[in-house]
Amino acid sequence: MAGLGGLRNTVRQELVARQLDEQLDACFPQSAGAHARRRLRVLDIGPGQGTQSLRLARLGHLVTGLESDPVMLVALRQAVAAEPPDVRERFVVLRGDGRETGRHFGPACFDVVLCHGVLMYVPDPEPLLAALARVLTPGGLLSLLVRNGDALAMRAGLLGDWAAALGAFGTDAYTNRLGLSTRADHRATLTAVLEGIGVPLRSWYGVRVFTDTARDGTPAPADPHELEGLLAAEEQAGRLDPYRAVAALLHLCGVRG
């Protein structure tokens, strides 16, 4: 993916794209003899600049981006406007909050729902997740990217900030790199919530095991071979225990029963 910015965002977006494609292939297998993957109806909650949702629209899927932040809404509309006409036709931008999907959509009207980097800004994730489950079709995929509450001390500890590392134990609260007070999620807790709303966890991955301590502005390697080696190491670590359990982010994928 071009134009992803620094190293940390490159790793995040590349790994999530690979993991998401793996889950899409598993949930919506291509029919024998078919020449193209089934066209899916995708809802992206809080898509930001639309990295993942625009990628899916370019692949031929029908995408709706639901964004509540006015600044990011402008950025998303600008990003969609810069796409070729066929991609623009497949992408709808709406202003709204994911907790209020009932105001915008009927039940069971999306095959895929993405909610990446949103739960950390929501005090109680369960109402939002229940609202997302409602709009998923049976067999539909829910993709969540959350801050890993089981590894909040890792970044500070690896950077030698012992006070911050000690303060991270026993809490879900943290201040992100934008200076905003946010909240982390625990995999066991989200697994129970997903089970309760009828979207049991199918698979989970770690994202940014090795590169989360990179400074803001650190560029991704310019050498494509070096970059691919880095991504391969991160991808492997994100699939294997015990590495994935201490990743900065968790990518959880549930399927509606």
pLDDT band at residue 34, thresholds of 50, 70 and 90?
Answer: low
**Could you tell me which of 194, 77, 182, 76 has the C-alpha nearest to residue 132?**
194
- Region 32-38 average pLDDT: 63
Question: Residue 249: what residue type?
Answer: L
- Region 226-238 average pLDDT: 98
As a whole-number percent, the residues of the chain with pLDDT over 70 amount to 96
- Look up residue 37 and give its DSSP letter: P
Tally of CB atoms within 10 A around 1: 11
Question: Among the listed ranges 26-30, 43-47, 86-90, 163-167, which one has the minimum average pLDDT value?
Answer: 26-30
pLDDT at position 31 over 90? no
- Region 204-213 average pLDDT: 97
Rounded to the nearest 5°, which phi and psi values hold at 140?
Answer: -75, 155
Question: Residue 204: what residue type?
Answer: W
pLDDT tens-digit profile of 57-75? 999 999 999 999 999 999 9
Radius of gyration of the chain (CA): 18
What pLDDT does residue 3 have? Answer: 44
Q: At what angle do helices 51-58 and 7-27 cross, to 10 degrees?
A: 50
Q: Across all residues in the chain, what is the average pLDDT? A: 94
What pLDDT does residue 32 have? Answer: 61
DSSP string, 179-235: S-EEE-B-HHHHHHHHHHTT--EEEEEEE-SSSTTPPTTPBPPSSHHHHHHHHHHHH
Q: How far apart are CA 71 and CA 232, in angstroms?
A: 34
Q: How far apart are CA 138 and CA 161, in angstroms?
A: 46
- Region 14-23 average pLDDT: 98
Question: Among the listed ranges 27-31, 227-231, 241-245, which one has the minimum average pLDDT value?
Answer: 27-31
Rounded to the nearest 5°, which phi and psi values hold at 165?
Answer: -65, -45
Would you say 93 and 50 are in contact if contact means Cβ atoms under 8 Å apart?
A: no
**Could you tell me which of 164, 67, 114 has the C-alpha nearest to residue 173?**
164
pLDDT tens-digit profile of 42-52? 999 999 999 99
Question: Residue 68: what residue type?
Answer: S
What pLDDT does residue 180 have? Answer: 84
- Region 161-179 average pLDDT: 92
Query: How many whole angstroms from its chain centre is CA 132?
Result: 14
pLDDT at position 215 over 60? yes
pLDDT at position 179 over 90? no
pLDDT tens-digit profile of 79-102? 999 999 999 999 999 999 998 898
Q: How far apart are CA 146 and CA 249, in angstroms?
A: 6
